[in-house]
Amino acid sequence: MLIVDDGSKDKTKKIGKTLAKKFPEIVSFYSKPNEGKASALNYGILQASGEIVVSIDADSMFLRDTLRKLVLSFCDPEIVAVGGNVKVANREKILNKHQALEYITGLNLQRRTFAWLDCMQVISGAIGAFRKKELLTIGGYSSDTIVEDMDVTISLARYKHKIEYNSKAMAYTEAPEKIRDFLKQRSRWTLGGFQVLKKHRDLIFNPRFGKLGLIGMPYFMIFPWIDVLISVLLVFTVLRVAVVGNIDYLALFYLAISSLQAGLTYYSLRMDQEDKRLTLLSLFESLWYSHLISFVIIKAGLYYLKGSPLSWNKLPRLGKNYAPAT
């Protein structure tokens, strides 16, 4: 295991040195000047001696069998990269419960689908495995965007490398517990997504890149704005009811959205062997959480169009990235 300290101002260097000294056979520690996450990842890749490299964020944790399951995916010689199943560890607060549900029904279900369609766009930085040779061929991680995990995935996929998703290989991450921190994180994701779309715009609707060009990239470009449209329609419907007084119209609209959401949620929870009671939470998602996401998309879109400088928006961590014992 390699630990790379990218000029951190916290206790990373101290802890890394302690672990390397205590477990010299399995832990190597490196420290370098701060040049960003992409630089730290590339530094670690160069130090790695194996044919397969596995990346994990400092705020994520693997289960005991996660690494084995990730590596077993490479039994197929055509696979060059594998993404794992990211789950939210801290689920006490209502905001975190919604994030946990979103990870299961949104992010992971989408990745499962796109892997099946052979047009994966994102291998999460929290859990990803790559063949070192192919990773170095494309120059490793790039600092062109603030979402280096998505950027490197598409950079590999554009050369028609096979990218897989392994739902059994799990990593648990700590999700933001405050609205302010949540908005910072999602703003970075959204703004970084705009950067990636611009960088790889030659792929969009381009049949030369197969399903990635015709399905994967167009979906990533269009779908967030469909969410925004639905959110706007729901707000418009509520305002219309307030003026006209036709509550039946609102009830029908809300019932249709909630039923669709609940059905998709139950299916996702069953596939991931998660707590089915989270389905009840989906009934309230369209009342506030989906609008929060839409707000981020709109704000990030305007921010990006203004050409404002983009940053990583580092979040405070509470040390709640624990993994279940089983």
pLDDT tens digits for range 75-121:
999 999 999 999 999 999 999 999 999 999 888 888 999 999 999 99
The average pLDDT across 62-70 equals 93
- To 10 degrees, what angle do helices 179-199 and 148-157 make? 30
> What three-state secondary structure class fits 28?
strand
pLDDT value of residue 145: 93
Contacts of 194 (CB under 8 A, 6+ apart): 300, 301, 304
pLDDT value of residue 287: 85
- For residues 188 and 313, is the Cβ–Cβ distance under 8 A? yes
pLDDT value of residue 166: 95
Q: Is the pLDDT of residue 47 over 90?
A: yes
Is the domain 35-305 a CATH 1.10.3470 member? no
pLDDT in tens, 123-149: 999 999 999 999 999 999 999 999 999
- Calpha distance 188→195 (Å, rounded): 10
**How many residues in the chain?**
326
The CA-CA-CA angle for residues 138, 45, 163, to 5°, reads 50
Q: Which helix (H) or strand (E) holds 217?
A: helix 217-244
DSSP 78-89: TEEEEEEEEEES
| Count of Cβ atoms closer than 10 Å to residue 242 Cβ | 10
Q: Beta partners for 85?
A: 170
- Calpha distance 290→294 (Å, rounded): 6
Contacts of 121 (CB under 8 A, 6+ apart): 114, 150, 153, 154, 157, 212, 216, 217, 220
Structural domain spans, the chain:
35-305
pLDDT value of residue 150: 95
- For residues 48 and 2, is the Cβ–Cβ distance under 8 A? yes
The two tokens of residue 49 are: 């001696």
Q: What is the pTM of this model?
A: 0.90
